[in-house]
Chain A
Amino acid sequence: MTSTDDSRPVTLSEVWSYLKRCWPFYRPQIKHLLAFISLTIFSGVLVLGSMVLVEDLVYNKLLQGEKLQSLQASMFFLNDSFVSNGGENEELLSLSERDTLRDRMIIGGGFWVIIVYGSIVFGTYYMIWIFQRVNQQLRVEMLSRAEHLSLRYHSSSRTGDLIYRVYQDSATITNVLQWCVMTPLRVVGWIFFASLVLLFFSPWFGLIIFVISILMFLVSKKFVPIIREKARLSRELNSALTSRIQENLAASRVVKANSAEEEMMRRFSHDSKHALNAAFEMRLYISIYLLISLLLSIGGFIVAEYFMATWSIIEKSTYLGGVVAFVGFAAWNLGAFRAASAQGEELAAQVWEASYLISIVQDLVMGLRRAFYILDIEPEIKEKVNPKVFPKTIQKVSFESVAFSYEKDHSVLTDINLEAKLGTITAIVGGTGSGKSTLLSLLLRLYDPDRGTVLINGTDIKDFSTSDLRSNVSIALQQNILFAKSVKENIAYGIESTTEAEIIDASKIACADDFINDMPLNYETELGERGGKLSTGQRQRLSIARALLKNTPILILDEPTASLDAETEKRVMSNIAKWGRNRIIFIITHRLSTIKSADRIAVLDSGEIKEFGSHQDLMTLKGDYAEFVKSETGDE
């Protein structure tokens, strides 16, 4: 599913809004983040401090033999003979003293390496742990939202797309702190500071900075929308590729059945090429943009450096350098050249970094949009704030003037009125595509009706929580979906606690016990992907057993017997009829023998219940049902 407004420009306020949205994911880790930052600062200070110390110790003390300051000596546990008394013509360190100093420095250095690199190395590990936790929270929230989204969303979205969003798009959240907070602050700070220093040297630099800023702005205006668009495309096409792979593999059997391997490879290759091209183009445009930015910023700096050098030759006086303490150069000389050149180089590097930042943020925001998109989908199935408790005993299920359509102007159900009482089996009959399965999926709230209400004991099912409702209504699906788990786990799927005996009982009612016992590991046998390794009839019976095990007051069987032979069908149906005495059962079926075991038959046609009653009632009516029975039995 592509949301077309993903191509809108990235504004500062959007970045700000994502910062706010990411905060709840960072907040639980804030203590760890602070600890990590402290650790980083600690090792940073240690590195900088020790560099100054080592420079002095090596060059002045060890190599030239000067005596140490008392603090330095105590750091290395050296006695007073090493310490300088501050006198003018002090003695140098003796050779053996210098050896001692060196040995102590090496030992100290050993500790230093372990502490500093240790904190860097394990700090990195710590950081990975923190960001993984941030990402984990987002991933789980996305997936659990997806699990609860209505089937209407799922039927128009692709599995691979969700995989891509949960992996790739959600991972961008780990970069938010760096690219939306830390780096921008540093870059802006540096640019401001370096520009200020340069201005004090000469206002001409202001002109250069101004001209380059204008040019940079124009270049960015040209390139940023392209980069954004390429980033979006790259994400969408790679997500489409993931879907393609997933679908190809899920459809392996069909591919085989139609010898469509080459066609599938062609489609895959096509998608793969497009995805790679998009990834390439995004990187290419970023590179071109960065190259232009580089030529402008470093080029400007080289030109500025030319002026600095020529002014130094003539020792031209600086603009305000002499009066401002932190510049401190009244006229151009080598020192002034070095200082100004260093600032210029830093400024150019920061400008380049800024354009890098801008490019990255384009892609980052594309990722965030796609990740938060899942969280932003308004769930169609809304939960009541104070749901009613599902009744202990139920009397009836009723559909009142229910209308439903998957798409506008294409209604499936127009006006359904149906009531089923405790202890009855209601068969739903009708042409293919007449909406039988849809009708009963409303009872599970997989969808909500457009109009009308579905009631249990006279209470609108929207007043119950969906989890409460779904744990009281069980269904054996028409497409016998099984999972790649053991037989036992498949039967007990979705049930909190159950015993082995209950599982076996349910299997017996569904006539599945026999064939399960023939399997190599019986109930522990692992089923293949999507429950392969079983025949359709066997899968069907496992689905039925699963629905029975839930032991709910309401049971829906969608074409439960389509793949069973007549004998097994009879056994299953009579078991279910016995089992269902105190329940309400709905059966969708085409099979006459199954229909006959029902108490009530509802004939669904053009979105309405056209005929309703017992087999005898409907036969005397001589309507569609009688017609159907005639065509099923033929002349016999």
Chain B
Amino acid sequence: MSDATTHDKRFDDRVDLDTRLSGSETLRIVGRSLQFIGRVKVFFIIKILFALVSVLPPLLVPWILKIIVDHVILQQPIDILNANLPSFFIPLLGLLEGLTPSEIMFAITSFMLVTLTIFGLRAAPAEQAEAWGMPIGYDAATQSEQALSAGGSKANGIWGLIELSLTIRMTQRLANDLRMQLMERLTRLEMTTLDDQRIGDSVYRVMYDSPMLPGICYRLTIEPLLLILGTVLNIYLMQSTYGDFIPELLKLAVFLVFLILFITIPLTGLARRLHQTNRAAGASTTNTMEESIENISAVQSLGGSEKEAQRFSDASEESYRRHRHTALFDALISMVNYICIFGSMAIAFVLISNSVIEDELTVGDYSALISMFFMLSSAAGGLGLYLVEVQKNIAAVRRVFFFIDYTSEYNDDARRMGRIQKGVKIRNVDFSYPDGRVALKNINLDLPIGKVIAIVGPTGAGKTSLAYLLPGYLRPSSGDIWFDEYKLSDRSVKDIREQVTYVFQEHMLLSDTIKENLLLARPNATSEEIDFACRISCADEFIANLPDGIDTGLGKAGNTISVGQKQRISIARGILRDTPIVILDEPTAALDPKTENKLMAGLKQVADKKLFIIIAHRLSTVKAADQIIFIEDGKISDVGSHDELMSKKTGRYRQFVNLQND
């Protein structure tokens, strides 16, 4: 793990630390990626059919041109028996037999116009189409964005258009399926993981790592298939035209395939590592940008603008450098590739030229054979390159699978407890953090529905830890919690959270309209319900005064509405959700006394069917509660109403109150 701790600092990863991939893990990732093809089965089969057909038309072109030259311009009569053409072409030639040169030209022209429309015959190969769309840059992020909608076709014309559209759609489907899976898991990370997982890093994984999945699906299936098919076809054409060529050449080509695999396979591990760090560096750049822009008000008011810009510049520089490392590696690999190809070409050159010098072959045969061998050896080299290139995709997809597999708090359980009626029972609950700090000791409480309960105590006493137990953000180290007769440890998180709404002290709002923010809690709420929730939380007045009312958009720095206003929107959202238990963490901290009183009165008004748990320091807020729980050093030291607790002369609560009234 010493390696992992260094990663920690360099690319501020704190969750995904061990990024090394062994050979078997790599194979597992590949296998898992290929399973995604099952989701696009139909697309995939059609794509293969289209692609197979696209290979054929270009093969016709040289022979058509030959007919134009021989039989139109040079006006040689067509002699089917002695035609030096591939066998599949003979029947087509038969159709032209007996026609005058002009008629042949007319027929060929018509044929070419038709095949141009359908297959784009005689057009430049449409492989350029792979890069259609966004002009990309020299970093992993922009190249991934392009990979998200990649598609291509060896054909052009209508056929190519259909194949291209089909492929783009298939690519998008594959990438989006993975993206959705990842996003789903990321939203369900455990509370403790959320503290460690950087938001920018997650953004990078969703946006730029997921789109690399389709690459694995194609590079290991369709692409080699087409490469091999093209090679076999070419060998067949050569053979049917020029007869047997030197058998050593074929052996040489096969040897070359193994040689290249032998050299590249050991290097794939290095390739993966380089791509891992490339992506980690990109994610770290995203972290820097995300953190500083999201917290821009803090950055500016603390005078950190220059420093943040510098931090970004360094991170970005580093990510470019890491990307160059992968480029350098690719360059070296292709260099090695070229050298292997050249070496085998040299041997082929000796073999073929010897045959020519010894008069076994003609000069024309030399030219045909050497170009055919060049084609064969390039194909062999191509296989090696696929193997290296796909490592980039594997490295990226590993980063996605990592979080898909990461412990998440979600375990779907079909059982539903139904809206609870009585309340919460806490028995003998202890809680300590993973690092051993004890937060709660021997907690016993009964919290009935229909009450407003305040949790009070010094900072760091364990108030929030206690409240976190109810929605299952934390689980007790020992002891039990019941909602009515249901024991929480037996229930799924989803089931528990149906009952509890937590309104955080940090009023987190989305940069959306106020209405969208409210609807998050309950997508199908009516406008009456929304109005009601806003009224209870005292948000109605200021919302009415906003230029667009409830449809006013909230910015990310959100400075156009005050902290107290944001707080009330958060409370309205909590009330709108309408769960039997609502926990409000410091709901009145930023409110003036008038609003505070109104809010507390409002809560009491709806409290008959709900349990409100309020964490507060403010005396006026606390006083308004039905019951007060005073907690200190993780232990409950006082429980009762304000008056009851004030009557205890030595009670901690009384001291607490007196301190505030000084």
Contact = CB atoms under 8 A, between A and B. Distances in A.
- Say what secondary structure dominates the interface of chain A: helix
Given A128-B138, A291-B158, A559 B556 contact: no
A147 interface: yes
B195 A102 contact: no
B638 interface: no
Given A159-B556, A284-B165, A437-B562, A167 B459 contact: no
A340 B159 CA distance: 29
A356 B128 contact: yes
Q: B141, B295, B503, B557 — which one has the most chain A CB atoms within 10 A of its CB?
A: B557
B133 A259 contact: no
Contacts of A352: 123-124
Contacts of B577: 258-259
Contact of A295 (B117, B342, B592): B117
- Say what secondary structure dominates the interface of chain B: helix
Contacts of B238: none
A262 B437 CA distance: 34
Nearest to A295: B117
A248 B207 CA distance: 13
A470 B176 contact: no
Contact of B459 (A131, A255, A493, A538): A538
Nearest to B554: A155
B498 A313 contact: no
B87 interface: no
B180 A287 contact: no
B243 interface: no
A634 B620 contact: yes
A282 B293 CA distance: 30
A272 B520 contact: no
B363 A59 contact: yes
B471 A256 contact: yes
B286 A249 contact: no
A31 interface: no
B609 to A, nearest CB: 19
A584 interface: no
A161 to B, nearest CB: 9
A257 B501 contact: yes
A302 B12 CA distance: 60
Interface stretch (B26-34, B266-274, B345-353, B383-391): B345-353
A529 B197 contact: yes
B300 A124 contact: no
Contacts of A250: 199, 294, 508
Given A174-B137, A532-B195, A566-B617, A158 B511 contact: yes
A305 B109 contact: yes
Interface stretch (B226-234, B332-340, B372-380, B476-484): B332-340
Nearest to A137: B313
B189 interface: yes
B661 interface: yes
A441 B659 CA distance: 32
A295 B298 CA distance: 58
Contacts of A626: none
Contact of A590 (B350, B460, B591): B591
Interface residues of A, number: 180
A406 B573 contact: no
A565 B655 CA distance: 12
B188 interface: yes
B195 A160 contact: no
Contacts of A295: 116-117, 157
A139 B138 CA distance: 13
A478 B563 contact: yes
Interface string A519-562: 01000001011101101111000000010001000000001001
B292 interface: yes
A447 B202 CA distance: 32
B316 interface: yes
Nearest to B346: A106
Interface stretch (A73-81, A198-206, A238-246, A448-456): A238-246
A632 B309 contact: no
A329 interface: no
A158 B301 CA distance: 19
B215 interface: no
A529 B198 contact: yes
Contact of B349 (A102, A121, A562): A102
A579 interface: no
A238 B146 CA distance: 12
A520 B138 CA distance: 42
A277 to B, nearest CB: 9
Contacts, number: 511
Given A247-B511, A265-B184, A634-B620, A563 B589 contact: yes
Contacts of A109: 342, 346
A302 to B, nearest CB: 5
Interface string B61-100: 0000000110011110000000000000000000000000
Chain B: number of interface residues, binned into ranges: 35 or more
Contacts of A538: 459-460
Interface stretch (B46-54, B250-258, B413-421, B593-601): B593-601
B196 interface: yes
A121 B565 CA distance: 60
B587 to A, nearest CB: 11
A317 interface: no
Contact of A256 (B135, B195, B497, B568): B497
A294 B457 contact: no
B458 interface: yes
A562 B586 contact: yes
Contact of B296 (A113, A151, A631): A151
B194 A529 contact: yes
A62 B353 contact: yes
Contact of B306 (A98, A282, A467, A562): A467
B105 A309 contact: yes
A268 B183 contact: yes
Contacts of B191: 253, 256
Contact of A264 (B290, B520, B542): B520
Interface in B105-139: 105-106, 109, 112-113, 116-117, 120, 122-124, 128-129, 132-139
B526 interface: no
B521 A258 contact: yes
Contacts of A360: 135
Contacts of A446: 297, 300-301, 559
Contacts of A299: 113, 116-117
B445 interface: no
A376 B593 CA distance: 45
Interface in B568-623: 568, 570, 573-574, 577, 585-586, 589-595, 597, 617-620, 623
B431 interface: no
B136 A568 contact: no
A173 B137 CA distance: 8
B580 to A, nearest CB: 13
A420 interface: no
Contacts of A298: 116, 120, 122-123
A129 B460 contact: no
Given A299-B113, A567-B458, A259 B498 contact: yes
A246 B662 contact: no
A360 B367 CA distance: 39
Nearest to A264: B187
Interface stretch (A9-17, A40-48, A208-216, A479-487): A479-487
Interface stretch (B36-44, B321-329, B527-535): B321-329
Given A59-B363, A286-B133, A313-B102, A155 B158 contact: no
B161 interface: yes
A166 interface: yes
The 4 A-B pairs at the shortest CB distance, nearest first, are namely A171-B137, A528-B195, A432-B564, A155-B555
9 contacts: A132-B320, A135-B137, A146-B293, A154-B555, A280-B169, A287-B129, A295-B116, A562-B590, A590-B592
Given A106-B346, A562-B590, 6 more contacts: A128-B323, A159-B290, A247-B512, A254-B520, A295-B117, A313-B102
